[in-house]
Structure 1
Amino acid sequence: MPKDPQKIAIIGFGAMARSLQASLTKTQSRLAIRATLLPREFHASAELPDSIHLCGTVEELIEWAPSLVVECASHEAVRHAVPELLRAGIDVVVVSVGSLSDGALLADLEKAAQSGKSRLTVASGAIGGLDVLRSAKSAGLDTVIYTGSKPPAAWKGTPADDEFLLSDLRERTVIFEGTALDASTLYPKNANVTAAVALAGIGFERTKVTLIADPTSTSNTHQVEAGGAFGRFSILLENRPLPDNPKTSWLAALSIEQCITRHFQNIEL
């Protein structure tokens, strides 16, 4: 399918999608989101620019013939929409990386991409250093540890909301310790970074994860530590949250923009 930078579609149109569209418009790039896939029950309440073509089914989106689709909705969207798009020969950027902790789904996506001669790209999200993990994995990684810390409000609507009175926390509190597999299952909207780290490194079952609610912080902090035959490395990022969604780092939205830009570049630097 030809790479038309004016025929980008997005699945979902929440805070991250709106931030992405605003950023592309602000930079006056040649890239443009021209369509979105939303379930029909949301069509009446959707506040979309006139320039956005609204699709109610995957079949309608395929008929519109996008050159690239960005999944920016949910694990369910990855499961139900992305395989069909890949089989139709349409390249996809996946933002809900936590969905890929499902090995059966990952295998299905691989088969779909092979069948359609298409490509799935995983957005790096709010974390850096994934290129180091991918490179080091070939020599052998012994340990990968991810620690994520966010203000208590960012953990609203998660299992931590049931276990802790988040609004009353006065000090850094560990809300989860375990594997990346469990973190991705229990915190699907907050732990996409965890999944990205696991995929780049030693997998979901061997990657250790600690999640923290920190009332003294105004940023989302991500730290990755790894060791192996290559040596050791540690990376720490302090990211501002997306203004419209405290659960998401602003850098995560920016990483999607970079995925799109690199997709349409003739030379990838």
Structure 2
Amino acid sequence: MRLALIGFGNIATTLLGLLQSTQKFPLENLTIVSSPGREKAIEAEALARFFDIADTLKVVSTTQDLLATRPDLVLECASHTAVKTHGVAVLAQGVDFVLASIGALSDARLELDLIQAAENAKSRLVLPAGAIGGIDLLAALRPAGNLQVTYRGIKPPNAWKGTKAEAQLDLESVQEKTVFFTGTAREAASAFPKNANVAATLALAGAGFDQTRAELVADPNAAGNIHEYSVTSPLAHYTLRVENQPSHGNAKTSVSTVYSLLREITNRIGPLAI
């Protein structure tokens, strides 16, 4: 496989470490897309840490240079901005594009542009389950209509640092579970781009961005990142709760998100997809 990763932060490096330890054979090529000016530094680090992960390794900073490496699959694990910068061009080239920053699709124009590019080029925009489960069942219930979905994201106060939660709470002094946001999944994903990708995933699988309700909570007693949601449908009713451990070095990201991306890769490399 010729794999490309957009980003070289916590998610990307953790993913590469997992690939390095689980894959029997190296990739044909690994391309890492960095921000401009950091290519040499990232290339040096990547070669030092992941020297045996691929037959060849390249670091680029533009969409044009990314596509020139002829990737079979591109994974975005950087930011909403990265989705906007690279997504349409990658899909238009006929290459499948996997999103970690699913909340970027709260921008209705971007969502439409990405889907149209995929349709025209017969590529696929792939949305992994990330830190939540039951997405297969939720998506299966969607055609029946009349879905009601309510999501609650609960994280320790320090996981909300650097977000709009700081304007509403003194995160250092929160003593009890505190709801600081209630609204639609679109509003949550737009206002909290690093923290509300699960809300976006549920919205896209189910009732839609503006029909899915979201609640965000700071809880000093939360051991990790907790995602829970309830579904009411003419076909089924269920509630699901997942208590995730945060990714090492980034309290905002659940480590299961990285494993979800790994699954997208191994399902394409291996003889069995599940």
Given candidates 27, 39, 42, the residue that maps to 2:38 is 42
Aligned to 2:105: 100
Indicate conservation of the 8 Å contact 1:152/1:169, yes or no: yes
Aligned to 1:264: 269
Q: CA RMSD in A?
A: 1.5
How many angstroms does 1:157 deviate by?
A: 0.6
How many angstroms does 1:39 deviate by?
A: 2.1
Aligned to 2:169: 164
Structure 2 unmatched runs, 5+: 52-56
How many angstroms apart in 1 are the aligned matches of 2:125 and 2:247? 25
**TM-score for both structures, normalised by structure 1:** 0.94
Given candidates 5, 25, 31, the residue that maps to 1:30 is 25
Alpha-carbon distance change, 228 to 165 in structure 1, aligned in 2, over 3 angstroms = same
Aligned to 2:143: 138
Matched residue of 1:206: which SS? Answer: coil
How many angstroms apart in 2 are the aligned matches of 1:150 and 1:189? 12
Indicate conservation of the 8 Å contact 1:146/1:208, yes or no: yes
Given candidates 9, 30, 33, the residue that maps to 2:4 is 9
How many angstroms apart in 1 are the aligned matches of 2:209 and 2:249? 30
Matched residue of 1:49: which SS? Answer: helix
* 1:206 matches 2:202: no
How many angstroms does 1:37 deviate by?
A: 0.8
Aligned to 1:189: 194
The one-letter code of the counterpart of 2:34 is: L
Aligned to 1:80: 85
**TM-score for both structures, normalised by structure 2:** 0.92
Aligned residues: 264
Aligned to 1:70: 75
Indicate conservation of the 8 Å contact 1:150/1:219, yes or no: yes
Matched residue of 1:262: which SS? Answer: helix
- The percentage of aligned residue pairs carrying the same residue is 38
How many angstroms apart in 2 are the aligned matches of 1:72 and 1:98? 12
The one-letter code of the counterpart of 1:14 is: G
How many angstroms apart in 2 are the aligned matches of 1:30 and 1:84? 29
Indicate conservation of the 8 Å contact 1:141/1:201, yes or no: no
Alpha-carbon distance change, 114 to 265 in structure 1, aligned in 2, over 3 angstroms = farther
How many angstroms apart in 2 are the aligned matches of 1:203 and 1:186? 17
Alpha-carbon distance change, 173 to 136 in structure 1, aligned in 2, over 3 angstroms = same
Matched residue of 1:109: which SS? Answer: helix
Matched residue of 1:41: which SS? Answer: coil
Structure 1 unmatched runs, 5+: none
How many angstroms apart in 2 are the aligned matches of 1:30 and 1:196? 32
How many angstroms does 1:44 deviate by?
A: 4.8
Matched residue of 1:253: which SS? Answer: helix
How many angstroms apart in 1 are the aligned matches of 2:20 and 2:5? 15
How many angstroms does 1:266 deviate by?
A: 4.7
Matched residue of 1:141: which SS? Answer: coil
Q: Which runs of 4+ in 1 moved over 4 A?
A: none
Matched residue of 1:178: which SS? Answer: strand
Alpha-carbon distance change, 142 to 40 in structure 1, aligned in 2, over 3 angstroms = closer
